[in-house]
């Protein structure tokens, strides 16, 4: 296991579900302190006083850290005392809160602009973008390769498969839905196995629903009168004749 070099972590990881799992371990709490620390000198007006907090400091109450890490106050104090004993932090505790100063903060971060960008970020971001694009290209090629083997069925093939399965799905409704949509499903994905799609339709389709759907489609296209009661009546009649 390598112990050399840097690993770039974006602060957005703090809002990820994996980071919100509690209680924190000591390693996670330590990394959390690094990400919470001011990346530039900061001034705050509180209790009628202007206070300045230096780069590399975290000004929070013990209770705030306890809530964040899922610990009790006693465990937080013992942890901070241990970090102080190991010369990893300096502590300043007052009635207005606790200020944690990370002794080697500059070793963990490359100084950059006050908006949080750094020279390292300017280097890493293009690399990240390139990596993301490479993964996307590979996924696109894999999807395209899988899709090349798909041949849209004819209406007769759909009808034949429905007869074999004794499926309640209406062949014309199924075929028209996907053929008009260029065989793209409701999630925007290309269909790779139309038989599997038909099986999925069986879970939600019945002859009654199929007849009603066809009538509603006719209504939308202006082939029926604007009367929902009429649609229901015609649907019942078609089902009886089926």
Rounded to whole angstroms, the Cα distance separating 53 from 40 reads 9
The answer to whether residue 74 sits within a structural domain is yes
Is pLDDT of 57 > 70? yes
Residue 23 CA: distances (Å) to CA of 2, 18, 28, 98: 27, 12, 10, 21
Name 117's Cβ contacts closer than 8 Å, sequence gap at least 6.
none
Higher-confidence residue of 41 and 134: namely 41
- The answer to whether the Cα torsion of 68, 73, 75, 77 is positive or negative is positive
Q: What is the pLDDT of residue 129?
A: 54
The answer to whether residue 143 sits within a structural domain is no
Average of per-residue pLDDT across 67-76: 94
Most confident of 41-45, 48-52, 87-91: 87-91
The answer to whether residue 139 sits within a structural domain is no
Higher-confidence residue of 205 and 158: namely 158
* Residue range of the domain that includes 48: 11-109
The answer to whether residue 203 sits within a structural domain is no
pLDDT band at 209 (very low <50, low <70, confident <90, very high): low
Question: Each residue of 131-189: pLDDT tens digit?
Answer: 455 555 555 555 555 455 678 899 999 999 999 988 888 888 889 888 888 888 777 78
Q: What CATH number is associated with residue 23?
A: 1.10.10.10
Structurally, how many domains does the chain consist of? 1
| 70 phi-psi bin (left φ>0, alpha ψ -120 to 50, beta other) | left
The answer to whether residue 35 sits within a structural domain is yes
Higher-confidence residue of 28 and 115: namely 28
Higher-confidence residue of 227 and 35: namely 35
Higher-confidence residue of 115 and 108: namely 108
- The answer to whether the Cα torsion of 80, 83, 84, 89 is positive or negative is negative
The answer to whether residue 114 sits within a structural domain is no
Percentage, residues of the chain above pLDDT 70: 64
Higher-confidence residue of 123 and 37: namely 37
Higher-confidence residue of 241 and 201: namely 201
Neighbours of 185 (CB within 10 A): 14
Higher-confidence residue of 70 and 135: namely 70
The answer to whether residue 31 sits within a structural domain is yes
The answer to whether residue 140 sits within a structural domain is no
Higher-confidence residue of 104 and 218: namely 104
């Amino acid at each position: 296991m390598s112990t050399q070099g840097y690993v770039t972590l974006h602060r957005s990881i703090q809002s990820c579900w994996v980071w919100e799992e509690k209680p924190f371990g000591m390693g996670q709490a330590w990394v959390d302190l690094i990400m919470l620390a001011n990346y530039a000198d900061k001034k705050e007006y509180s209790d009628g006083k202007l206070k300045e907090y230096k780069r590399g400091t975290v000004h929070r109450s013990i209770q705030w850290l306890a809530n964040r890490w899922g610990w009790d106050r006693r465990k937080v104090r013992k942890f901070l005392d241990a970090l102080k004993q190991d010369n990893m932090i300096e502590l300043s505790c007052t009635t207005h809160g606790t200020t944690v100063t990370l002794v080697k903060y500059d070793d963990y971060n490359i100084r950059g602009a006050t908006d949080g960008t750094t020279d390292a970020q300017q280097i890493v971001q293009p690399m990240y973008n390139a990596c993301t694009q490479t993964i996307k290209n590979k996924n696109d090629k894999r999807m395209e390769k899988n899709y090349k083997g798909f041949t849209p069925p004819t209406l007769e093939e759909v009808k034949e498969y429905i007869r074999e399965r004794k499926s309640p799905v209406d062949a014309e409704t199924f075929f028209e839905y996907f053929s008009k949509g260029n065989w793209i499903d409701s999630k925007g994905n290309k269909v790779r196995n139309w038989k599997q799609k038909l099986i999925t339709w069986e879970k939600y389709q019945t002859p009654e629903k199929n007849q009603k759907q066809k009538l509603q489609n006719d209504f939308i296209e202006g082939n029926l009168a604007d009367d929902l009661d009429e649609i229901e009546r015609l649907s019942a009649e078609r089902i009886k004749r089926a």
